[in-house]
Each structure stands twice: as C-alpha cells, then as structure tokens.
Amino acid sequence: MSENPVTQGQQFPLTIKRIGINGEGIGYFKRSVVFVPGALTGEEVVVEATKVNPRYTEAKIRKIRKKSQHRVTAPCPVYDACGGCQLQHLAYPEQLKMKKDLIVQAIEKHTRFHLEQINIRDTIGMGNPWGYRNKSQFQVREIDDTVETGLFGADSHELVPIENCIVQHPDTVKVTNLVRDLLEELEIPIYEEERNSGIVRTIVVRTGIKTGEIQLVLVTNSKKLPRKRELIERVQTMIPEVVSIMQNVNQAKTSIIFGEETMHLAGKEKITEKLAEIEFDLSARAFFQLNPSQTEKLYREVARAVRLTGNEKIVDAYCGVGTIGLSLASKAAEVRGMDTIAESITDANENAKRAGITNATFETGKAEEVFPKWIKAGFKPDTIIVDPPRVGCEESLIQSILKTGAKQVIYVSCNPSTLARDIQLLAKKYNIKYIQPLDMFPHTAHVESVTLLSLKS
C-alpha cells in the first residue's frame, strides 16, 4: 500500500464524488480517499486535513468553491455542534437518492454481485420529514449552575444543550423541558460524570403517537431520588398525558443509557401504542420503532414481500415486542419469534394475547441458539423474517437458515454493510428478488431496507 500523500494540517482542493455511510462527503486526493463531513456530492471544496491515517484522511471544509444546487441551510440552530443529524444541509429529495446510493455502495464493496443483477428500488420517504421521533433520551448535566438537557456533541463528551429538537415529536420536547426545569426548581442533584456523583443522569420520554400516552423514565445514578413525590405530583398535574413514570438505575460509568433495574414510580408500568390496527404495550426498556408512521410503511413492504396464503409458518427473528410477526399473524398458520431482551418477549406475548392472536408465540434467547433448537424439534418454517441489530445476523443463524430450505427470507436491515455481507452468504441458496430502501430517520445517514430472497429452484 502506498503512503498517504497527505500530511496533518495540509490544505488542498477536492471534488466530492459521493456521500458515505456517516453522511460525510468522499473525495480523492492523489488517489487517496478523503472523508469530509458536511460536503456534498459534486461540490468543489478546499479542505484541511484533521486526521491522517495510512489508508485515508479525515478533513474539514475551509472553503466551498463550487456549491451543490441541493445544499440548503440546516434549520436547526445547534446542527453543527450536536451531531445527532448528519444531513440537514441536503435537500430532502436528494437525501432519498443518497440513501439508495448507500445500498449500492455496500453491494459494490462487500459482495461479488453485479449491480445490474440486483433490483434496488427508489427510497420510500416521508411527506413531512420533521418531528417524527417518538422517543428522546436527553442527558442531564449542570452547566454554570443551570440544569441543561441535550446530547453529547459529535465525538465528544461535552453536552450540547438543546431547547427544541426538530426531529423529535413535540411532546417529547415538552416533557423533557418541563422535567429539566422541575429538577432545577426542586434542587434535585444532577449527575456529575467526573466525580461519578449526583443522581439524575438522563431523561427518557416516549410518546404513543396514536394513543397520546406518554412515558417518562428518569435514569439515575442511585436508587434514591430526593423529593421524588413532589416531582411526580408536579409532572402529573402539569402534563396529565404522562400516564407512566418509571425510574431506571444505572450506576455504571458508561455511555449505555439504561441499567438493569427499573422501578415503577407512578401511573401505569407501560404505555400503549398502535401500529396499523394492533395495540402494543411498551415497557421502559422495550425496543419499539422510533418512527411509527414509516414503520407502518415498512411492515406494508414486508407483508407485500411475503405474499401469504394462510398456510405459512413464519419465524420472526430479533422480534422485539413482536411488531412484525403480529402484523402478519392473521394471514399465516403460525408465527414464532425470539429476542434476547426478556421484557420485550413478555410484552410480545402480552401483545399477542391482547390482540386475540392465538397462533403466535415468542421466546427469550439468541436467534442463533433458539432457531436451530426449533428446527431440531421438527419445526419447518416457510418464511423467515430477520430484523437484526446493526451488526447483522450471526453467521451460525445464516447457516441454520440455509439448512431449512424455507421458501423465502425477508431481511429487514438498518445497516447496508452487514446486509450486503449477509445476503452474499444467503445467495448460495437464495435469489435476491429486490431491495427496497426506506427512510426511517430523515436528516440522518441511516437507511432501512427490506430485501426479498427466494429459494432457488
């Protein structure tokens, strides 16, 4: 490998060729790759090298010589500092094209497929791509004797105070700000990271967009929460839609939000949300899609891909609270799901019972362990749906899928790189019919997709 021609602090001109998986512009200087946050495809920029690695360079924009016609002014006042969104400076229709291109890039990089063999469809977007997130997790810190809530800046542990996050549902912002002000007024101790002291670390708010129910979770550094009663009463009086108040204890020095122990403080233990016509009960730590209106479109795409006749046995791997499996149960013979979080499985089975669905069962455990056990016991699925976390499927699960001879596999992905890696393995026995990208998180570099694979005859 030749040496990187760039030196630290060097300034040089660059033409941006495409946008990468983190929303950064990608260009080439003397055939060496350069990543530039905030730069757009087609732009001619002057950049300064901020980090030089043997194989690539990270750089920042010093000047834009030729601007993209799709560049817009980001409406968020803390856009540059926060780092929660990466693409507010790109017009929304172009974001959708770019997200399709992320899947193209992943297929080129991680597979041996020829692109013309694979039908990658246009990205399904949102009519109104703002205010869509139904859950917020804002850190609480004291800055200059004032209690602030916000997010840590990109690549830093400095809190960026946020008064109004425009991709969050307005209810989550309202509750967070109210609780922040009450913590200050009641002088409840705020977590201090350096000394690992203080109490309140994070305010988590989840709203049922269709039901209007709101859950508040206070993540604390200890079980004790001073002036708890007063705080609860004030919240319930001021925002009666907050029907569930929980406390989660996390004493670890970690960036992971939740600890293992959750305590019920007031109201219900769970809130209810609806997807299509099915109601879901959500406990504090249960995973649930953050953008319900796009989730409904996603499940419509899954249902379209599956084409059920009523006789199929379906596996819903990485099932969470059972959302995908339950949405298909009425059109199938049997649904079985598994997930590693026990609370999610409890919720999934409760959700099935509540909806009167008797042909769906959910089990706690790792997909790669539970699935082979079912197969061994004689269960033969026709359709396997996988919706794995960003790391993709365990290879042992893929090997089990290849052995089953299931007629079709539907792969719901939130990470094009691991999707590409996994479908390359599945292609031994399956044809890739199409990949349908969907924008679950407008203004960020994330892209969700549904891939239909059918057994080779």
User: Which residues are annotated as catalytic?
Assistant: 414
**Nearest alpha carbon to residue 17 among 93, 68, 91:** 68
- Side-chain-side CA neighbours of 224 within 13 Å: the count stands at 6
Q: Tell me the residue length of the chain.
A: 457
Q: E-assigned strands of 325-425?
A: 334-339, 360-364, 383-386, 408-413
Rounded Cα distance between 286 and 380, Å, is 29
Rounded Cα distance between 329 and 352, Å, is 9
Our CA dihedral for 106, 111, 116, 121, rounded to 10 degrees, sits at -40
Q: Residue 361: CB partners within 8 Å, gap ≥ 6?
A: 335, 336, 337, 349, 352
Per the CB < 8 A criterion, the answer to whether 371 and 315 are in contact is yes
Using the Cα atoms of residue 126, residue 129, residue 133 and residue 139 in order, give the sign of their dihedral: positive
Per the CB < 8 A criterion, the answer to whether 397 and 445 are in contact is no
Q: Residue 390: CB partners within 8 Å, gap ≥ 6?
A: 414, 415, 418
The helix, strand and coil proportions of the chain, stated in percent and rounded to the nearest 5, come to: 25, 35, 40
Per the CB < 8 A criterion, the answer to whether 421 and 392 are in contact is yes
Q: Residue 454: CB partners within 8 Å, gap ≥ 6?
A: 407, 408, 430, 431, 433
Q: E-assigned strands of 174-311?
A: 200-207, 214-220, 242-249, 261-267, 271-275, 278-282
